[in-house]
Chains A and B, each alone.
Chain A
């Protein structure tokens, strides 16, 4: 009974080598066919210097005495006989690995899986890591110099490996995953110099159909907006209109939804890009953003006097679900802004660049879909609303873009000749 193995060593320095049992050959019985399919990968750390430093070996493992299974014991003795060319004591002691060489079978310490009796199964991954002769880097410059400042308030270092030290101290908690809800239960939370804002990705997106989450998001973000406009007059136009995010962030959400959902009704919201972003200075893009905000969140805007949106909840659930995927995106943007409130213009140009790409992409997509549907689209060039922010139809309209409202699909229109009140009333009737 033989097995063919392929050994692979990493280059030059002893880091890792892997060996893969490719096939078995020999006299078969029923059990052997099981073996035939067995694949194992062995990875060694810091040991191939003992084996001629050859990177790839193709060898045959003979199972002894008609054994049916390949165990770690067999493998080790085979490696010792066939593979280790010099100083086998660096790798083995007796018939096992020497202390200091860690053996893992499928990322699990082999002590848990039976040590030498561990049976190697198909696609097993075996790792040997030498903690003894891993070569360190050249000494650090500071290691040659003594400590220059008196006694340190730290406990003297413990001997042993890090995992041993941690375990000895009783504080080890392997593989602990901290759920977001658990995060605030830690005890030691003093010394905070300011209230910590909620994280941008934690604001009830997708958790339910309650719109409060959006409301609070808005508040948070308008905080940002005002902060920014406060520090630099350049951005004054953001602040007044409910905050930078209120505009940018959600407008952009609608854009994405338009893209992902492919819903024709959303075209209007990608229209906002055309609305002012491409061909205008910094002020005008904000008009574009503002339009976008009108999207699905108009109803939730705390300042919105026009009541809840008419869409049914099922739609909102799906909206929220899609939104959640986008939250990551904005979480990162928000973090960046957080770190960067002052360098915002640079970030803004980055954002615009990004939108440029995605906006074009989705705009094209939507136009294509609409053409198929036979919907005619108008030019998207559109002056910002009276306050540079609210278009007549985009933002806080009682009908979102989702009621299949043709006006919106066709893109924002200039205001009718009548007063604004009339516009809303008409809409409400419809």
Chain B
């Protein structure tokens, strides 16, 4: 599959929930430390006509420049052209790819006081999204309001990721640098569960799509742990194999036990947490930190990753991402 070269360092990549060939990529200049950012919406070309016919390159539909790095992006689940971008200057921006560039961003929401590290759109109720930030808070927003609906502040350190439960519209989890994973219900004043999941910072978490009580955490301690929120004393499974901190973790939308992760060891790994030899595949195509991964909801086995080597790879599981 072809690759897409971004001018800046990749930070996040997400498949559109509407179109199987569309992706959004969040990038930041100078490794996100200093400088601008850019949000790309890219389109895969249709599958090659036959064997041996080279695939057309990935095309860019549109890109948006931001004044600071873009750390994460999330597609709207209700409108196929809406994007929520988490910007390093603390703002949350909403883009509509259907509108002319002059009208974008549609909204710029300034409430976080530090870098916004993640954005996640509610997949079940589809009218709200979460952002997490280095200011230790998670905020809940709805599209129709200019201000956040609620702020969740309990974490004692940067919150790196907040993810909705795919089956419960009111439940989400947040992973923080204070070494805890917290589970929240938007109707409750505080968190409903605190899981001291790792000894070191937790950089990402994701819910199992087929088991609403199962959640995976990725940590600086190089491991991925899978938890059942009903018995949080010991993890269901511990996945070791990454050489450095694990940056992102994702459950497969198609297989219950399949997990995808990427790490500062520059590799992208697939795991099956239910079997003993958990590592299913390791892809070493990135030449810098791999910081963004996603799995297509619409095409089983279609994977995407991005990293600081300024490349976005989209490939079918089992094939070589670098293959033309």
Q: Which residues of A contact B (CB under 8 A)?
A: 8, 10-13, 15-16, 18, 43, 45-46, 102, 104, 107-108, 127, 129, 131, 134-138, 140-142, 145, 147-149, 152-155, 157-158, 161-163, 165-169, 171-180, 182-184, 186-194, 196, 199, 201, 328-329, 331-333, 335-336, 338-343, 346, 350, 354
Contact = CB atoms under 8 A, between A and B. Distances in A.
Interface of B: 17-18, 30-34, 77-82, 88, 96, 98-100, 103, 106, 111, 113-115, 122-128, 134-137, 140, 142-151, 153-154, 156-158, 165-171, 177-180, 185-196, 198-199, 201, 203, 209-214, 220, 222, 228-230, 243-245, 247, 253-254, 256, 264-265, 288-289, 297-298, 300, 308
Contacts of A104: 144, 146
Given A147-B167, A332-B115, 6 more contacts: A10-B81, A45-B79, A149-B213, A178-B153, A339-B201, A339-B220
A228 B151 CA distance: 36
Contacts of A11: 81, 98
Contact of A152 (B80, B196, B212): B212
B148 A158 contact: no
B209 A340 contact: no
A54 B142 CA distance: 28
Contacts of B288: 346
B298 A138 contact: yes
Q: Which among A13, A157, A184 has the greatest number of chain B C-beta atoms within 10 A? A: A157
B33 A329 contact: yes
Contacts of A158: 169-170, 187
Contacts of A162: 122, 125, 127-128, 140, 142, 149, 169, 186
B134 A335 contact: yes
Nearest to B143: A129
A180 to B, nearest CB: 6
A346 B265 CA distance: 10
B8 to A, nearest CB: 13
A193 B171 contact: no
Contact of B149 (A174, A188, A191, A328): A174
A15 B148 contact: no
A338 B201 contact: yes
Interface centre among A148, A162, A191, by most chain B C-beta atoms within 10 angstroms, is A162
Contact of B127 (A131, A172, A335): A131
Contact of A15 (B77, B96, B136, B151): B96
Given A180-B113, A354-B30, A163 B144 contact: yes
A193 B176 CA distance: 12
A290 B177 CA distance: 29
A169 B156 CA distance: 25
A16 to B, nearest CB: 6
Contacts of B256: 148
Contact of B140 (A153, A166, A183): A166
Contacts of A46: 79
A163 to B, nearest CB: 5
Nearest to A14: B79
Contacts of A199: 134, 157-158
A180 B135 contact: yes
A74 to B, nearest CB: 23
